[in-house]
Amino acid sequence: MTTSPSTGPASALQGKGGTPEPEAGLRTSFAPSLLVALAALAAVAPLAMDAYLPAFNQMAADLGVSASTTQLTLTAFLVGVALGQLSIGVLSDRFGRRPLLLWGSALAFVAGVGTALAPSAAFLLIARFLQGLGGAAGMVLGRAVISDRSRGITAAQALSLVMSIQGVAPVIAPILGGALVGPVGWRGILGVVAAFQGILVLLVAAWVPETLPAQQRHDGGFGVLVDGTRALAKDHVFIRLIGINALVYALLTSYLSAAPFMLQGVLGMSTAAYTAVFAACGLTVTLTVAACGSLARRVSPERQIRLGLIGILVVDLVFAAVCLTRLTGPVSSTALTVATVALFIIHVMALGTCMGNLPAVALGRTGRWAGTGSALLGFVQFVFGGIASPLVGLTGQASGVAFGVTIVAVALAANVLGAFGVRDRGEKERLRAEAAARRAARLGRDQLPQADRDADDAVPASAGAVAEPATRAAEA
């Protein structure tokens, strides 16, 4: 992987006196071991959140509690993740990335063991909250580590890998849980998650270095969050990117929440077929995000975002039309089932065009506030996802109407934000000039004598100009 210069720094990237923060220490590549560790850190919280969902009924019966109490274990985890996104990201700007990653991963592991051994629902609720709090470290600081080390295309490619894993984890986790619930039960599922979190502690210790130098850290406590938020808020492009990222995540959670009851409750799909659809969607997200990262050299991340948002809106308008006209109640139609599955796959494919690019472009603008920026990015993302998730079920488990209305409204809002721009004014010209310079370098023109380059540049690039030297030679 190689990198281009940073996407234009905004005010948030500037230090005292308006001087841009130094770019010293940036890398043009990442060690494979570091990327593996960061991808695993990004996956652990979604895995812990969704893997045990197929075992809810078994858990309620075993602990002797109601279904709503069992649902609170998911809520407690989400609250822990949301608070962890803010607190851990901010603290890492003061104490560094590695210590917070180690302590957060260790907390998630210990709490994960507690969830598997929980003797009561109350104990389980506390353990799930702490598990979410610790698991948030991997999500928020993985992004910050990449932002510390890279900008531009390098960051986009690295974040594409990390975000593809984070995006596919909520899709794969219920499939894994469904396969394990029979043989090992809900405690076994949570035990597998805890074991994975224990492996992560070792990966962080072995493969994740400190990426925030001491001279770039901040003094102070949570006042840093206020200062960092105030500085980042001056960058309107960054604020728009955070909003768009949150809306894209809301579209993903809308799919995750609606797909089970739409495919099974409305279309009557079997459990095996439903699981296969989830697997196909997970594979689609992974391949799409990876492909976008590999195309970052030819198509800028900002342009991919704009095209992706338009694609999302077009797909979701068609999907909403199907939901409002054909999926208003239980139906039995092979053609409609195939069309709905295809729309789900295209929906997540369109989301994949933005899932890696949005964090890369947004965090590329944060400079010395990378930890705070990543915290805000994750916190707002989870808030929007939590709001959108219940909305898709407002018309009941045997109707897709609420899902159709929700995805169109969210996709439209994302496109409105995107229309205001995802890069600074004048940046197109700068990027165009950089692209021309890279093309010249590939052609070797930059190695020619200056007089030859000036003479070459003075020749107009037209058919007549190309023929003119030959004409002069003939006249001579």
Q: What is the 3-state secondary structure (H, E, C) of 9-28?
A: CCHHHECHHHCECCCCCCCC
Q: Report the distance separating Cα 26 and Cα 29, nearest Å.
A: 9
CB atoms within 10 A of CB 463: 8
Q: Report the distance separating Cα 429 and Cα 348, nearest Å.
A: 32
Phi-psi sector, 5: left (phi>0), alpha (psi -120 to 50), beta: beta
| Residue 119 DSSP class | S
- Residue for token digits 């198509």? 299
Residues whose CB is less than 8 angstroms from the CB of residue 340 and which lie 6 or more positions away in sequence, other chains included: 262, 263, 267, 322, 327
Q: Contact, 43 vs 165, CB < 8 A? A: yes
Q: What are the residue ranges of helices labelled H in 208-270?
A: 223-233, 236-260
Picking from 302, 97, 317, 132, the residue whose alpha carbon sits closest to that of residue 213 is 97
Specify the amino acid at residue 289.
Answer: V
Confidence (pTM): 0.69
Q: Report the distance separating Cα 71 and Cα 128, nearest Å.
A: 12
Q: Report the distance separating Cα 429 and Cα 427, nearest Å.
A: 5
In three-state secondary structure terms, 434 is helix
Q: Report the distance separating Cα 249 and Cα 112, nearest Å.
A: 25
CA dihedral of 471, 472, 475, 476, whole degrees rounded to 10: -140
Q: Report the distance separating Cα 189 and Cα 292, nearest Å.
A: 33
Residues whose CB is less than 8 angstroms from the CB of residue 233 and which lie 6 or more positions away in sequence, other chains included: 239
Q: 350: buried, middle or exposed (CB in 10 Å: 19+, 13-18, 0-12)?
A: buried
Q: What is the pLDDT of residue 475?
A: 43
pLDDT means over runs of 10, the chain (476 residues): 37 38 54 84 84 81 80 80 82 85 94 94 93 88 79 70 69 79 91 94 91 76 75 91 93 82 84 78 82 83 93 96 92 92 94 87 81 82 80 80 94 94 67 65 58 50 43 43
Instruction: Give the residues across from 94 on adjacent strands.
Output: none
Q: What is the pLDDT of residue 385?
A: 80
Q: Contact, 144 vs 371, CB < 8 A? A: yes
CB atoms within 10 A of CB 29: 14
Q: Contact, 143 vs 159, CB < 8 A? A: yes
Q: 366: buried, middle or exposed (CB in 10 Å: 19+, 13-18, 0-12)?
A: buried
Q: Contact, 140 vs 85, CB < 8 A? A: yes
Q: 449: buried, middle or exposed (CB in 10 Å: 19+, 13-18, 0-12)?
A: exposed
